[in-house]
Chains A and B, each alone.
Chain A
Amino acid sequence: MTALTGTRAPTPVVRAGRRRPAARAAAWVRAHRRALVWLSPVLAVGAVVNLVNLGGAPQRIDDEGTYTAQAWAVTNLGELAHYTYWYDHPPLGWLQLAAYTELTGAFARWDVAVLAAREAVVVASLIATVLLWVLARRVGLSRPAAAATGLIFLVSPLALQFHRTVYLDNVAVPWLLLAFVLATNRNRQLAAFAGSAVAFGVAVLSKETFLLALPVLVWVMLRASHRETRRYTLSVAASLLVLIGGSYLLLAAVKGELFSGADRVSLMDGIVFQLSSRAGSGSLTDPDSLLNRTLGMWWQLDQVFIVLGLLSAVAALFLRRLRPYAALVLGLALFMLRPGGYVPVPYVIALLPFGALLIAGVAGDAVARLRARGATGAGPRTGPSRSSRRARSWRSRCGAPSCAASCSRTSTGRCARPRHGSRRTCPVTSAWSWTTPCGWTWCGPAGTAGTSSGTTSSTPTRRSAPSLPTAGAISTT
Chain B
Amino acid sequence: MTTPFIVRHSDSPPGPLLTPEPVPAGAPTDVPNRGLDTGLLDATRDGTAFDWSAVAGYSALVLLALGLTVVAATTLWWMLYAWRSKGTLESTGFSRTPHAPTSTFTLLVPGRHEEEVLGQTLDTLAAQTHPHVQIIAIVGDDDPGTEAVAREAAARHPDRVQVVVDDSVPKNKPKALNRALPFATGDVVGVFDAEDEVHPDLLRHIDSRFTETGAVVVQGGVQLMNFRTSWWSLRNVLEYYFWFRSRLHFHAGANFIPLGGNTVFVRRDALERNHGWDAECLAEDCELGVRLSSQGAKVVVAYSPDYVTREETPGSLKSLYKQRTRWNQGFLQVLRKGEWRALPTRSQRTFARYLLAMPFLQAATGLLIPLSVCLILFAKVPTVVALLTFVPLAPTLVTLAVEVAGLGEFGRLYGEKVRARDYARLILGTVPFQVFLALAALRAVFREARGTRNWEKTEHTGAHRETGTEAVSPAPEAARQQVAA
Contact = CB atoms under 8 A, between A and B. Distances in A.
Interface in A81-120: 82-84, 86
Nearest to B382: A78
Interface string B22-38: 11111110111111100
B409 A231 contact: yes
A10 to B, nearest CB: 20
A229 B31 contact: no
A226 interface: yes
Contacts, number: 146
B397 interface: yes
Contact of A58 (B17, B27, B402): B17
Contacts of B48: none
A189 B401 CA distance: 17
Interface in A446-477: 463-464, 466-467
Nearest to A82: B36
Given A238-B401, A292-B6, A463-B25, A297 B20 contact: yes
Nearest to B26: A277
Given A58-B17, A296-B3, A77 B22 contact: no
A278 interface: yes
Contacts of A301: 17
Contacts of B26: 277-279
Contact of B1 (A61, A263, A296): A296
A335 interface: no
B383 A254 contact: yes
Interface in A193-247: 226, 228-229, 231-233, 235-236, 238-240, 243, 247
Contacts of B358: none
Contacts of B404: 235
A306 B5 CA distance: 13
A434 interface: no
A300 B41 contact: no
A290 B23 CA distance: 8
B10 to A, nearest CB: 12
Interface in B69-123: 80, 83-87, 89-90
A54 interface: no
- How big is the B interface, by class? 35 or more
Contact of B401 (A86, A236, A278, A295): A236
Contact of B85 (A161, A190, A464, A467): A190
B25 A464 contact: yes
B317 interface: no
Interface stretch (B331-339, B349-357, B386-394): B386-394
B31 A265 contact: yes
Q: Is the interface of B mostly helix, strand, loop or mixed?
A: loop
Interface in B273-321: none
A294 interface: yes
A79 B17 contact: no
Given A297-B18, A299-B3, A236 B80 contact: yes
Contacts of B89: 228-229
A25 interface: no
B481 interface: no
B390 A250 contact: yes
Given A236-B402, A255-B383, A269 B86 contact: no
B80 A190 contact: yes
A442 interface: no
A312 to B, nearest CB: 16
A189 B86 contact: yes
Contact of B20 (A228, A236, A239, A290): A290
A293 B20 contact: yes
Contacts of A381: none
A247 B44 contact: no
A38 interface: no
Contacts of B87: 187
Given A79-B40, A296-B1, A84 B19 contact: no
Contacts of B254: none
A370 interface: no
Given A254-B383, A273-B28, A345 B20 contact: yes
Nearest to A344: B22
Contacts of A467: 24-25, 27
B85 A232 contact: no
B343 to A, nearest CB: 18
Given A292-B6, A296-B1, A300-B14, A229 B387 contact: no
B41 A77 contact: yes
A86 B31 contact: yes
Contacts of B8: 287
A255 B382 CA distance: 9
Nearest to A298: B3
A241 to B, nearest CB: 11
A297 B17 contact: yes
Nearest to B408: A231
A433 to B, nearest CB: 23
A20 interface: no
Contacts of A414: none
Interface string B44-87: 10000000000000000000000000000000000010011111
A284 B3 CA distance: 11
A26 B4 CA distance: 51
Given A188-B85, A189-B84, 11 more contacts: A189-B86, A190-B84, A229-B83, A232-B80, A235-B402, A251-B383, A278-B22, A279-B23, A292-B5, A464-B25, A466-B27
A-B complex: 3 closest residue pairs judged by Cβ atoms: A239-B401, A293-B20, A466-B27
Interface of B: 1-6, 8, 14, 17-20, 22-28, 30-36, 40-41, 44, 80, 83-87, 89-90, 376, 383, 386-387, 390, 394, 397-398, 400-402, 404-406, 408-409
16 contacts: A58-B19, A161-B17, A187-B85, A229-B83, A235-B404, A239-B400, A243-B397, A243-B398, A251-B383, A263-B30, A269-B28, A295-B5, A300-B17, A303-B4, A342-B22, A464-B25
